[in-house]
Amino acid sequence: MHITKMQGLGNDYIYLNCLETVPEDLPGLAVRLSHRHFGVGGDGLIAIRPGVTGDFSMDMYNADGSRGAMCGNGIRCVGKYVYDKGLTRKTCLTIDTGAGPRALELHLHRGRVDQVTVDMGEPKVLPSVELEAEGEVFSAWPVEVGNPHAVIFCPDPREVPLERVGPVLERSPLFPGRVNVEFAAPRDGDRLDVRVWERGSGLTLACGTGACAVLAAGVKTGRCGRRTSVHLPGGVLELDWRREDGHIRMTGPAVTVFEAEVEETF
């Protein structure tokens, strides 16, 4: 079975071409391949399939085998995958996701995709809630960006013991389907520093939908402008929350790490 390892700001997934055939038990395969000691290693698996309304579709599985509706870093790599492998010559295309279709604009360098802009849709910011973990109460802003997020503003995300509080906050009873958690700090010059705990994957280097959620909550609370740079441990995303249609456009890198063959019985 041929696989492609790709990453966007260190948010790494294993990609499968499922345009013609689909392996059995994709959730189980995601768990096995994503293991960083006994597998390939990754935050999950993304299967690229024929589009329903769009050019292609992506089926996303987290490292624990659970389904994910949408991944901002992952979808950028889908765009690079289909273009660099000659599956399309279009530089503007649409990818069907569990959160609905998303439009991509591919930016080329020497004939290959190196940056991708994604229309992430319109975020929905809900009233703030209080979440408790490790004896501490956090004020969080729930945001829907195709998947659920809880944004918590703090002085310095690096000082938050995310490995301890992340699993507890993810499973808050206020979010029956679990939730992604972002700790964010606004800085001068429309910059946001962010760390992420992703449901189903844990501590990750970046999260595209999480960056969009932080921007939406930041604008809602007057902490930042509509155009900002989101700095994550894995790198920087450029975001623009457009007034004309209410959609957030996200631009960031997409990188192929390696190609490999794995045993069919893996």
- Which residues form the catalytic set? 71, 207
Per-residue b/e over 205-237, b at no fewer than 16 CB within 10 Å?
bbbbbbbbbbbbbbbbeebbeeebbbbbbbbeb
The two tokens of residue 248 are: 């957030």
Q: Could you give the CA distance from residue 110 to residue 91 in angstroms, rounded to a whole number? A: 14
Number of H helices, E strands in the chain: 4, 19
Q: What share of the chain is helix, strand, coil (3-state, %, to 5)?
A: 20, 45, 35
